[in-house]
Amino acid sequence: TLSTLSTLSTRHYPDYIRRQNTTLTHNSEDAMLCCAKINLYLKIVGKRADGYHDIQTLFLPLPDLADELSIVPTSTPGLSMRCSEPSLPTNQANLCVKAAELFCQQLGIEPSLAISLEKRIPIAAGLGGGSSNAAAVLLELRRQLAPNTPDAVLQKLACRLGADVPFFLNPQSAVAEGIGERLRGINVHTPLGIVLANPGFPVPASWAYGHWRRVGGPPLPPLDELIAALRGEDWRAVAALCGNDLEHAVLDKFPVLGIIAAKMAKLGCAGIHVSGSGPTLYGLCEPAAASAIRDALQEAFPGFLSVYACQYRPGR
């Protein structure tokens, strides 16, 4: 199977992903929250013949930072999309539209749908926003149009849309292997404060993966050590075992990230790394300290950084 995570049925989808009676355009009665993620660990295992890279990574969902998405049927044939972020395309270049077209092709129907997306997750930032949106579209269209669609079909469609999309079908802490499609859930018992710092410029994943070998870094510790630390309650032990093979090229290309990371450390963060292909930095801290660190970091880089404070609470 493509995934060993629990069933993808929206009945079991984490409660924080769904929100009732939101006030999106179209007055949707049932909107979805599309959460962000960070990679506490990302190791490049090798490059495949098809151009993709095999990886070993550990995803942590961040429900405190999420986009809102709704889909409503329309009387007009075709797909339309509205997005609060004007720089994002609303045609077939958008993963939401691609996901909707793919799902309707699977059913053999012509879509008559309007998608509304309120963006809060930074774009091309290593936080999985586009992948999270695409997964939400698949789940919502299954709920609306074909509730009996098997999980395996949804997983295959997700894989066609992108390497991170399968994770967001059921965004719970998980290890991913292959190109990201082979998932197994893990238990996290460590309360974590997480500060995110996004500098506002994009880093395409293709660039990060294409340059990761050019700037070497120390080998990552074994992933099993991080998984074991996450079963405890010491956030500093977790911070000491995080890492990302992609970050060395990104930090070399954008030295300002090193300046930001140094300030995050001075303010009390540890385990400061690039998430995914970047450029967003995350730092771990005491959960109660995250908001104060966010405010101080924002003040230190006014008008430049977008800073977010999140908490990971076990059992959420």
Q: What separation in angstroms does the CA of 124 have from each of 129, 208, 280? A: 8, 11, 9
Q: Please report, for residues 87, 122, 191, 268, 295, the alpha-carbon distance to residue 71 in angstroms, rounded to integers and kept in the order given.
A: 21, 21, 34, 41, 35
Judge whether 37 counts as a catalytic residue: yes
Whole-model pTM: value is 0.88
pLDDT of residue 103: 97
The token duo for 252 is: 């070399």
Helix ranges restricted to H, the chain: 95-107, 129-145, 151-161, 165-168, 205-211, 223-229, 235-239, 247-253, 256-267, 290-300
| Residue 214 binned pLDDT confidence (cut-offs 50, 70, 90) | confident
181, 159 in Cβ contact below 8 A?
Answer: yes
Amino acid letter for position 237:
A
| Contact indicator for 236, 268 with CB cutoff of 8 Å | no
What percent of the chain is predicted at pLDDT more than 70? 90
Contact between 291 and 309 under an 8 Å Cβ cutoff? The reply is yes
98: which 2 tokens? 């691609």
Pairwise pLDDT comparison (95 vs 24), residue with the higher score: 95
Q: For the chain, how many residues are written?
A: 316
Mean pLDDT along residues 190-197: 98
What architecture is the 15-185 domain classified under in CATH? 2-Layer Sandwich (3.30)
Look at residue 233 and give its three-state secondary structure.
Answer: coil
pLDDT computed for residue 48 by the predictor: 84
| CB-count exposure of residue 207 (10 Å: 0-12, 13-18, 19+) | middle
Give CA–CA dist 183/140, Å, rounded.
Answer: 21
164 is a catalytic site residue: yes
Residue 155 and residue 117 in contact, taking contact as beta carbons nearer than 8 Å: no
What angle (nearest 5°) sits at the alpha carbon of residue 154, between those of residues 151 and 159? Answer: 125
- Helix ranges (H only) for 162-200 are 165-168
Mean pLDDT within 92-119: 96
Hey, what are 209's tokens?
Answer: 């993966």
DSSP assigned state of 170:
S
The domain limits of the chain are 15-185, 192-312
- The predicted pLDDT at position 24 comes to 32
Q: What is the mean pLDDT of residues 277-306?
A: 96
Q: In angstroms, rounded to a whole number, what is the distance separating the alpha carbons of residues 36 and 61?
A: 6
Higher pLDDT, 215 or 240: 240
**The two structure tokens encoding residue 315:** 């059992």
Instruction: List the catalytic residue out of 37, 43, 98, 119.
Output: 37
**d(C-alpha 139, C-alpha 261), whole Å:** 36
Summary mean pLDDT of the chain:
89
pLDDT at residue 315, as a whole number: 64
Distance, CA of 88 to chain centre? 17
* Residue-wise pLDDT tens digits, 13-71: 333 333 333 223 333 457 899 999 999 999 999 888 887 889 999 999 999 999 999 99
Tokens 């060395």 correspond to: 248
CATH of domain 192-312: 3.30.70.890
SS3 call for 261: helix
Residue 272, CB half-sphere, CA atoms under 13 Å: how many?
Answer: 21
Q: Which of these is catalytic: 64, 67, 151, 164?
A: 164
